[in-house]
Every structure is written in C-alpha cells, then in structure tokens.
A and B are shown apart, each in its own frame.
Chain A
C-alpha cells in the first residue's frame, strides 16, 4: 500500500484523501518511508522534516474528519527547494554560508502551502544559490538522477526534480532563473513550470537574480503542476514585482487540454532553438512530438527569433550583476556562517572577507566576480547596459513570434543527463545547457517542460512550451494535450520506464 501511495499523482492522491480511503498521515508516512528507502542513494533532500510533516498531516486528518472545508490539495505532501525560506526549518540555499540558519519567517508561497495544509516533507538539494545546471555545485553533495545514479539530475533544482522522479514526493517547489525548473524536469522525466515573471511571489526566495527568478511547480503530471501553480500563484503585496491580477484558470486549461483537441492552435517552432548542438535523440523526440501535436489538430509553423543567439551572453551579464549585489548580505555579521581570520586583527572587514572566502563555493565566487566587474564604473554601459538592450530585443522577438503563434516550442535542453564531473571544469559547456530555457527568463514569459520520450541513450528528454506573459493557461492546455497523446503511445507515464531504485534497508 505504502509503495502504491507514492506512485499516485497529486491529483489522484488528493481524490483518495477526499474520499477517505487514505489519510494524510498514511500518505505522508508513505513518502517519508520512501525517502528513507531511496534518498541515501538519490540524496534529493538536505533536510527531512518528519515531525513537522506528520503534525500537519494529523491536523488535516482531524479537520477533514470534522467536516471542514479544505483546499483540494490539503494533506498531499510536498518538498520545497532549499532556496525558499521556511520558518523553523533549516534553509541553506545549498551553501555552507547559511549552514545552521533557521529562518524566522516563511516565504509567501510557503505560507500558502501551510495554509492549504500540505505537509512539508523537507528541503531539497540544489546548486549553491541556484547557480548551476547539475546540482554538483551544492555544498552538501550531489543529487543523483533516479534514471541513472551516475548522472546529474539537472540543476539548479536537481533535488526537487529527483525527489519527484524517485517518488519521494508527489509535488515539489522549484525556482527558475535560467532554466532551473525546466532543465531538471527534462533530464529526470518530470514536469516543471516557470510561471510568468510576477506570477508567483518572490517574497522569501533567496534571490540570485531578482529580475529573472521565479518559483514554480515540479511534478510528475501537467495537471499536478496546474494544481500547485494555482495554490502558490497570485498577487502578493510584499513583492513589488508581483502581478496584481488574478491568475488565468490553469487547472481548467489542463483538464480541457487533456481532451486532446488542439484545432485552431498555432504552434511556433523557434528555429534558433534546435539543430546544431542538440543531441540526435533529443531532436528526434522533438520532431515526433510536433507530429503528435499536428495529429491533435495544431498548426505547426516555423518562427525566427534572431536575437536569441545573444541571450546566453546577456544572461551571463545580468544574472551575475544582480547576484553580486544580492549575495552581498552574506557577510557573517547577522546570520549564518561567521569565520574569523586565522591571524591578524578581528575587524568587520576581515571577518566579512574570511566568511565569504570560506562560505562561498567556486561557482558562486565566479559569478560574484563576473557581476562585480560588469557593474564597475567604466564597464557598466558596455556590459550591464548592453545586456539590458539585448534583453529588450529578445522581448521584441517574443512579441513578434507570439503575433504569429499561440505558443512556441523547442527541446528543453540540448542533451540528456550527463555524467558527474563531465562539465564541471568547463563552465561554458555547463552554461550551454540553458541555451533554450534562458530566453523565457529574460523576457519574463512562462515556460513548461514535460517529458516527451527517451533518447537513444535511454534517458529522458524534455519538450518545452512557451507562452506569452500572463497566458500561463496555454502551457497547461497544450502540455496536457501532448502528455495525454504521448502516454497513449507509451501505454503509460514515461517514468514507468525508469529503473526501480534499490531500497536502502
């Protein structure tokens, strides 16, 4: 029974909870057991909050028994990426510099999760401060891809994607600055959505790049993402960049899409996001998915976004610039790690320097140095200024493309999961992983990755759908339609093809 409960989608588990077949304590315990069984091998979690999760589950069960009106996802457990602050639960953002820090407040999205009564199973592993595409930059060890434990689970949100792929959680929260939800989704065979910028509150997300960061759902099905997205999304007065409008109806869009009728839909294939540099199996699965969409009635057209080729360059100026400033607060003065210099006087400046020197990993330092340089007097216009101009051009490319097509599509990542260490010494190769996902962050438009098959190496491949800002519902309609068609050809979910993980005990 326990094993079965972890295989259910969040929507199905929620239905079981509502019908009373299963209690939240049973469901939560099943996932905690699963974490105990497989996480020693997967290492998706940095912290497992057993007591906290079970207390929430008990509370929901008794409220349900009392006939209280509960949120549709009440009692369904969830995992939260460690970059999101959680009151009373350790929050490190994958960095030594926050080792031992217990936040005194909840992020807005965590408040909403708690208010809806979802037991929080724990905090998931990630590249330090969300900087990376493999989770190898975590200060707390690698997360392993459940499809092949010798391979990366993507990043930065490798922990959330792996937790969901390994049935350790039906739902997880990710954050996406340049692809950190979508690329891990692609390489682990899971669904991940980066909402429209401003669609989900950033209050309580430990910022990497404020103008790019967005939190979103990480799940095994499109419908589950819609359910979670509706829970965490919507206006928050504590985030000035939050959109002050109601979300579009996402769950409805997912249910409607699953019917499989895409007649009248124009799907734009971005010519700059395919071809050279994309693994053969990735390109093949992409072409097959286009055929499926066509078979559902969609019209497939090619669109060009000529400035996308500058996106990676612009991203690697804007992101580190903002990060260099956002990460300045980690100085050992008020919270987290504090390192005193080994010799010489103990001054504030020297403590800051020693703390940052010891507390930050190499990739974080690399980006702080890049950003500090890009913002420096005399270089600002050439670097940060030019990058912002590129950003405007990319937004215009999107505007023009969305005038022709309702959604844009591409492979999510150029390759399947690579082996640990393969790209660690080559930052540029690592950065290229995000070439297809970064344009959406620069323009603030929403994007989804859903699994669309296995490459020749037997590893999962992701299909990316992009929609205009504030039209996140289109992702769910098209995603659910494609998901249904794909599962029809596979005879079930893709994750069913993943090898069974060995149980630790």
Chain B
C-alpha cells in the first residue's frame, strides 16, 4: 500500500488545463427477472450460498442453456430507451477464460452481434446543460458467481488461506452498456461520468427492469480514461478502473485517474494499458492486470443456443409500452408548469418532482404547489431531518389546503396553522380548520362589532381618515385583526372600516 501512496499526482485543475480527458464507461446492470439468464434458478437477493442453482447455472456436465425471454424483453427495453437500433437477429457467444467463479469456464455473452447498438443518451448536468453520450452497444450476458477469500488480512485473494464460491449470482442476467469514447467534456469529465451513470440508474428504475441498487451491486461501472494533449490529438492509452460502484466514487475515480495519468505524462512516462482497482477507503486506484491486446478470450458463437431474432412487431409493442424517461418527463413538466431552469433544477434536486406533479394533479396551481413544497414543507423536512417524500402530508392534502386559501376560507397565515395540524396528524385540512376553529370570520355583523369597538377606542385616527388621510387606517385594521385572532379577511375589514367612517 505504501508504494501506491507515493504516486505523484498533478492538481486536477492544472491537469485538465494541459490535457484533454476522454472517458468511456461500461455499465453492467443486473436485470430484475424472476429467474436466471439461461435456466429456471430463482433470483433473489441474500439467499443462502449455493441454493439458487440448477445443473445449468452450476455448469454441470450435460446441462444446456435456454434463453430467458423476459431478459431479452428487458434488454430490448433498455436498448430502445438508449435510442439504439435493435438487431433483427443476434447471437450469443462464448467468452472463454478460466476462473472459479465462472462455472463453465466460459461466460455466455454477446460479442460481434449485440442485441442493441448505435444509440445515445442525453445527460443533464448540474447546471442544466444537456450532454449527449453516444452508446456503442448494449448486450446480454450472464453474471459470474461471487468469490470470498478467507484468511489473510485484506480479504483479497493474495494471502488468503482459501476461497469460497457462491454460485447464486452465477447466471443472473446482465445487460452491459458500452459508450463510445466520450469527448468534449473537458474539465467536466468527472461530472459527466457521474451524471451518465446516474441517468442510466434512473432509466433502469423507470423501465422497471432492475431494482438498480448501487449498494447491492445491481449496477456496476467500469470507467475507462485516457488523456491527450489537445482535443485534436489522437486518443491516448487508457486505463480501465473496475467496479466503481457509487456515483460519488465515479466522479472521484475519474478525477484521480486524470491527476495520476497527468503526472505520468508530465514525467515523460507512458500510461500502461491496464485494469485498475478503485479503493473506496483511500480514494485511489491501484494497478491490476495488465490488459494487453494479446488477451484472448477465444470468442466463438455459442453452439448451444439458436440466434435471438426479435420480430419487429414485438419490438414495436415493447416501444409502445416504454414509460416516459426521466429527462423527457422533466422537460415536459417544466414546459407545462412554466418554471424557470433554476427553479426546475431545485425542484428535481429536492426530490419534489413527483410530489409537485401529484399536487398539481390534485388541483393546485404549479406555482402554489412549488411554493408549498419548496418553502414551508422543505423547511419542515430539513428541521425534522426527513426526506420530503417521507413527511406526513400528502400532495392531495396540500392541494386541499391551497383550495381553502383560494376560496378565501383561510388566509396564508391560517394556512400555516392548518398545515401544522395536518402534520400533527389531526386529519385533512378541512378537519383541522373545523376542529381548531381557524376559519376566516366572514360574518359582517361580527366584524362590525369589532370595528366599532376599534373606532371608538381610537377617535383621533377616525378623524384623520375622515379628513382624507388614509395612512393610519392600518392601525384600525390591525386592531380588528387582533380582536378576531387573525381569522378576519383583512380586505373585507378594510372595506367595512372605510364604509363605517364614511
């Protein structure tokens, strides 16, 4: 470890001033199918080791794979969502390599005939900029099992006394999405990388093809990075940083590799084409396997499977069922609601998009909905340290509250008291208004009694108003409001006061 710690780094800002970073990202997503890619073994997180297996997923002699149709459907969904072409016919291929977590010692994957190819994904950055990432391909494959190295100090294979393999994960369907080299991001490369993976995660969830939980490894990213002198220079030698499995780490891993590679290049050295490992604890990458072009997986078409040929009808049926994707929905809602870019971004970042949409659907105006959720409720969530979506009020209740204000039955000040009651579990806004007696006093008789009392108490002000000086009238209105505990409609009070003074 000490050897790694002494690696020279160039300050990030300095590095991106002198080099142009190019990234490429491979994302693996575990599909949320009930059974595995090529057999009927059930897929469930957290099962006892080696209980979710069949002769097929254990790679026993004689076993044969059968393609999971649901996995193909999910892969097509992903392909369509990424604006890809869907192959009219594609094949699986065997990727041959020996490793104990690969039961057959080959992975059934796709090689030269992926199910989806030539797509793109528009990614929204922090400041609302849309950055287009070109997708080379999305292909289907099976996951490997999971090795646990026992003994030794690090839990890693070196120094371990023995290793255990759990094949529950072996054969879980994966889709691997590969970008083309992402150029033009410049200093924002780390942010683009993070936003790309985050957008993918949102899409997987919107499509309902995966739980897409990063912490469970449902989504795993490998980040390729190379530096070149200028955007016009040929691509430099890249490294592939494996298993960067949180959004924050993706951003930091890119930053780290930019700084590290810049240091290597500054010293006149050459970047080694290799696999690197990201260390969450120390936030650095270390060298793994040297990945030369000589690495030979001896791919050939999987002879145990026939080609997958999704009919155009089926593809179109799937396309018709695609839900609106997050970026498109955001753009549509912003147009409908008339929010400014900054307002919209704040809403999204606060996690208020769904809440506001539901509140508007329940009858509130977009402006009022935003005012409640981004104002009073956001403050409440912050002080009570909960998520906005978790607080004890529904979008429908907010719409009801706003309707009470709009009808004049309560004013803004009363509305905040009503909201308190709702949050305290006293029921819907209507019930709170009734129970707490918070309705605006609209009975002119009751108001006139209060007004007459106020006028009698301040005859000097009455005189001034009568002589045409309207300034001090507020003192009378204030006294009336006080007397009615704020439940009077201030506008109506003003009308009545003027009438009375005549």
Contact = CB atoms under 8 A, between A and B. Distances in A.
B105 A207 contact: no
A486 to B, nearest CB: 37
B303 to A, nearest CB: 4
A444 to B, nearest CB: 12
A409 B296 CA distance: 43
B100 interface: yes
A238 interface: yes
A329 B305 contact: no
B93 to A, nearest CB: 10
Contacts of A205: 62
Given A322-B303, A372-B298, A380-B300, A202 B61 contact: no
Interface residues of B, number: 31
A466 interface: no
Given A210-B304, A240-B304, A241-B306, A328 B61 contact: no
B96 A325 contact: yes
Nearest to B38: A240
Contact of B64 (A202, A322, A348): A202
B32 interface: no
A93 B96 CA distance: 22
B59 A334 contact: yes
A376 B62 contact: no
Contacts of A334: 58-60, 103
B242 interface: no
Given A105-B55, A325-B94, A325-B300, A335 B60 contact: yes
A211 B60 contact: no
A384 B300 contact: yes
Given A240-B305, A375-B298, A328 B98 contact: yes
B103 A329 contact: yes
Nearest to A327: B105
Main secondary structure of the interface of A (DSSP, over half): loop
Contacts of A91: 61
A230 interface: no
Contacts of A206: 61-62
Interface in A204-261: 204-207, 209-211, 237-241
Interface in A306-337: 321-322, 324-325, 328-331, 333-335
A496 to B, nearest CB: 37
A205 B100 CA distance: 23
A192 B58 CA distance: 33
B300 A238 contact: no
Interface in B55-81: 55, 58-67
Contacts, number: 102
Contacts of A333: 100, 165
Contacts of A372: 298
A240 B301 CA distance: 14
A436 interface: no
A240 B67 contact: yes
Contacts of A384: 300
A229 B134 CA distance: 53
Given A325-B96, A376-B298, A207 B66 contact: no
A68 interface: no
B253 to A, nearest CB: 28
B336 to A, nearest CB: 48
A377 interface: yes
A335 B103 CA distance: 11
B104 interface: yes
B339 interface: no
Contacts of A8: none
A325 B62 contact: no
Contacts of A324: 96, 298
B106 interface: yes
Contacts of A330: 61
A277 interface: no
A383 B65 CA distance: 26
A377 B296 contact: yes
B163 interface: yes
B60 A104 contact: yes
A30 B308 CA distance: 50
Given A211-B303, A348-B100, A348-B163, A103 B106 contact: no
A241 B165 CA distance: 31
Interface string A26-69: 00000000000000000000000000000000000000000000
Contact of B104 (A105, A321, A329): A329
Given A325-B300, A329-B105, A204 B62 contact: yes
A354 to B, nearest CB: 13
Interface string B99-113: 110011110000000
Nearest to A202: B64
B105 A328 contact: yes
Interface in B280-315: 294, 296, 298-300, 303-306
Given A325-B96, A325-B298, A103 B61 contact: yes
B66 A238 contact: yes
B62 A203 contact: yes
A169 interface: no
Contacts of A101: 61
Q: By CB atoms of chain B within 10 A, which of A207, A328, A335, A380 has the most?
A: A328
Contacts of B58: 334
A352 B163 CA distance: 14
B100 to A, nearest CB: 5
A276 interface: no
A98 interface: yes
A126 B316 CA distance: 51
A349 B298 contact: no
Contacts of A93: 61
A241 B163 contact: no
A65 B94 CA distance: 52
A105 B60 contact: yes
A211 B302 CA distance: 9
A22 interface: no
B105 A331 contact: yes
A107 interface: yes
A98 B106 contact: no
Contact of B55 (A104, A241, A348, A375): A104
A278 B97 CA distance: 43
Q: By CB atoms of chain B within 10 A, which of A321, A324, A325 has the most?
A: A325
A352 B62 contact: no
A10 interface: no
A85 interface: yes
Contacts of B62: 84-85, 103, 105, 107, 203-207
Interface of B: 55, 58-67, 94, 96, 98-100, 103-106, 163, 165, 294, 296, 298-300, 303-306
Closest 5 CB pairs of A and B: A328-B105, A210-B303, A375-B298, A211-B303, A204-B62
5 contacts: A103-B61, A104-B60, A241-B306, A349-B98, A376-B296
Given A105-B63, A241-B305, A380-B298, 19 more contacts: A85-B61, A103-B61, A202-B64, A210-B304, A238-B64, A239-B64, A239-B66, A241-B303, A321-B300, A325-B106, A325-B300, A328-B105, A328-B106, A334-B59, A334-B103, A348-B99, A352-B98, A375-B299, A380-B299
